[in-house]
Structure 1
Amino acid sequence: MRRVALVAVVVDDYDKAIRFYTEALGFRLAEDSPRAGGDGSRWVVVEPDTEGAGTALLLARADGEAQRARIGDQTGGRVGFFLYTDDLARDHARMLAAGVTFEQAPRHEPYGTVAVFQDLYGNRWDLLQPAAG
């Protein structure tokens, strides 16, 4: 079996990123381990579900100026991350209450109901409830 298991999101601070993804987005912290080398780097994985069956995020602290410059603009300003939900209204309301910035109200598209939001760093995400069928 092959699957995309992790996608890296470049962050400026592990703990701040963990708080955002777990508290504001409702992800769970799957792993937080120190890496060898003694430079304070960590292997930090968060995932949107408790099953561990989907793709998770590796929160990777920027190393160097080139990586720091990409924080919040990893996909050139376009939506680059897609969070599927089975209840957009529920998750949209919970995320709004947690302070997540949405760029627009939810809208209906042929492929489902979608609302674009920004993560802590400005990366653009779709909160997406796929159309039935």
Structure 2
Amino acid sequence: MTTFLVPDYDEAIAFFRDALDFKLVEDSDVGGGKRWVVVAGASGGRLLLARATDDRQRATIGQQTGGRVGWFLQSDDFASDHSRMAAWGVEFTEQPRQEAYGTVAVFKDPWGNAWDLIEHREAA
């Protein structure tokens, strides 16, 4: 599980659940306005959605990897996932492209972090 800074729990849950088809694993109140929010992708990778609580943390939202792709969303049906995500309003920064390893396109989450949507090609 990896911590992922967000400005708002509910906005982040909606994005991961509705746009990326993640499952909400846990959403527990831990007091003091904090929640333990865990989402999981179909491949089992989990993110702990952590609401930024001070200026330093808020300044890193959307810049958690310095502008590089930091997360990889595995797809078993690239065309379907790309279409669903685009319809939800996900910003793709490029057209899908074919690489030696499969089909890929970079997208940004609502906060500016870069991700790859990727469907790996079957090994020969």
Letter in 2 for 1:26: D
- The CA distance in 1 between the partners of 2:32 and 2:101, in whole Å, is 45
* Residue 25, structure 1, aligned to residue 15, structure 2: no
- The TM-score normalised by the length of structure 2 is 0.95
Q: Structure 2 matches for 1:4-23, cutoff 5 A?
A: 6-23=1-18
Corresponding residue of 2:98: 108
1:71 to 61, 74, 94: 61
Q: Which ranges in structure 2 are unaligned for 5 or more consecutive residues?
A: none
Q: Deviations over 1:7-56 (max 9, x none)?
A: 11100000011111111111111100011xx311000011112xxx6211
Runs of 4+ in 1 over 2 A off after TM superposition: none
Q: Considering only aligned residues, what root-mean-square deviation do their CA atoms show, in Å?
A: 1.0
Q: Which ranges in structure 1 are unaligned for 5 or more consecutive residues?
A: 1-5
Q: Identity of aligned pairs, percent?
A: 56
- The TM-score normalised by the length of structure 1 is 0.89
- The CA distance in 1 between the partners of 2:83 and 2:89, in whole Å, is 10
What is the DSSP-based 3-state SS (H/G/I as helix, E as strand, rest coil) of the residue aligned with 1:126? strand
What is the DSSP-based 3-state SS (H/G/I as helix, E as strand, rest coil) of the residue aligned with 2:79? helix
Bigger strand share: 2
Query: How many residues were matched structurally?
Result: 123
